[in-house]
């Protein structure tokens, strides 16, 4: 398998997803994953769970079906100032944070790559954000080189999102130049499923094929090895019992 941890997955708590955390973890265990991040949408998304979902994540066991569970969220970048819809008080309690632009949280989208890039660079200054979610989307065109340099500088992981590149033509086109720049600037990535049903968890054949064709270094795939990923997580969140 290409990855040992899937760091962007959804459950029935996000109502456009269709599986429970137990179903996701059961399948993750069956295919050999060691860890899974539960990252349901935060509250600005129309179908997001209530705030209590995130405040009550502590009731979940650390492992489910022998898979380590990171209790996190996919937060929304809701403007071009890099602001996200989860405040610092809540962010402090998250164990994994994916931050994504979503068209549903914008009244008007900018097609100016500089504007979008400025937002990404300001987002990088948020210490709680771990991953830049599905940056390949056409809805938010950005200056690839300037942004990748910033992601590297601020140690933000660049997500290669299987669902996005598999289902969206723009993402399938944009992923190659983004990966080439990550390779050029030694910027680490994560390869995630963005699963909305259990049988998609940990399954990333399209991304794997592209990475192979580009001869992308495995050492830059942060979730290819759970032990090194675990060290990365504990460096930032030493209190976690993982």
Looking at the domain assignment, is residue 66 inside a domain?
Answer: yes
The per-residue pLDDT for range 184-229, each reduced to its tens digit, is 999 999 999 999 999 999 999 999 999 999 999 999 999 999 999 9
Looking at the domain assignment, is residue 68 inside a domain?
Answer: yes
Query: What per-residue confidence (pLDDT) applies to 172?
Result: 95
Looking at the domain assignment, is residue 241 inside a domain?
Answer: no
Please report, for the domain that includes residue 137, its CATH number.
3.20.20.140
Give the three-class secondary structure for 37.
strand
CA distance 1 to 8: 17
Looking at the domain assignment, is residue 242 inside a domain?
Answer: no
Query: What secondary structure does DSSP assign to 83-117, as a single string?
Result: -BSS-HHHHTT-S-EEEEE-GGG-SS----HHHHH
CA angle centred on 39, ends 65 and 51, rounded to 5°: 110
Q: How many domains does the chain have?
A: 1
The 3-state secondary structure of 123-186, one letter per residue:
HCCCCCCCEECCCCCCCCCCCHHHHHHHHHHCCCEEEEEHHHHHHCHHHHHHHHHHHHHHHHCC
**Is the entire prediction scored with pTM above 0.85?**
yes
The whole-number average pLDDT for the span 31-43 is 98
Paired sense of beta strands 35-38 and 63-64, if any = unpaired
Query: What per-residue confidence (pLDDT) applies to 224?
Result: 98
Query: What per-residue confidence (pLDDT) applies to 46?
Result: 92
**Mean pLDDT, all residues of the chain:** 97
Looking at the domain assignment, is residue 125 inside a domain?
Answer: yes
Looking at the domain assignment, is residue 197 inside a domain?
Answer: yes
The per-residue pLDDT for range 158-167, each reduced to its tens digit, is 999 999 999 9
The whole-number average pLDDT for the span 219-242 is 98
Q: Which domain does 97 fall in, by range?
A: 5-236
The per-residue pLDDT for range 53-78, each reduced to its tens digit, is 999 999 999 999 999 999 999 999 99
CA distance 136 to 196: 19
Q: How confident is the model at residue 100 (pLDDT cuts 50, 70, 90)?
A: very high
Looking at the domain assignment, is residue 162 inside a domain?
Answer: yes
Contact 59, 27 (CB under 8 A): no
DSSP single-letter state for residue 21: H
Query: What per-residue confidence (pLDDT) applies to 1?
Result: 82
């Amino acid at each position: 398998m290409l990855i040992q941890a899937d760091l962007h997955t959804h459950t029935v708590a996000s109502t456009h997803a269709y599986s429970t955390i137990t179903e996701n973890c059961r399948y993750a265990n069956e295919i050999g994953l060691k860890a899974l991040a539960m990252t349901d949408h935060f509250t600005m998304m129309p179908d997001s769970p209530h705030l209590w979902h995130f405040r009550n994540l502590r009731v979940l066991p650390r492992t489910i079906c022998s898979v380590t569970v990171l209790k996190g969220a996919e937060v929304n970048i809701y403007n071009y100032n890099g602001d996200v819809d989860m405040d610092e008080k809540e962010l402090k309690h998250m164990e994994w944070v994916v931050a994504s632009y979503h068209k549903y949280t914008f009244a008007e989208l900018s097609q100016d790559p500089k504007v979008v890039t400025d937002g990404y660079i300001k987002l990088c200054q948020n210490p709680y954000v771990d991953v830049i979610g599905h940056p390949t989307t056409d809805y938010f065109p950005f200056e690839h080189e300037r942004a990748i340099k910033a992601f590297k500088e601020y140690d933000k992981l660049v997500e290669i999102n299987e669902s996005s590149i598999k289902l969206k033509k723009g993402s399938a086109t944009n992923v190659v130049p983004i990966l080439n720049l990550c390779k050029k600037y030694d910027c680490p990535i994560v390869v995630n499923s963005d699963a909305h049903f259990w049988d998609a968890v940990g399954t990333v054949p399209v991304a794997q094929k592209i990475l192979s064709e580009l001869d992308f270094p495995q050492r830059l795939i942060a979730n290819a090895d759970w032990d090194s990923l675990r060290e990365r997580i504990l460096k930032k969140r030493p209190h976690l019992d993982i």
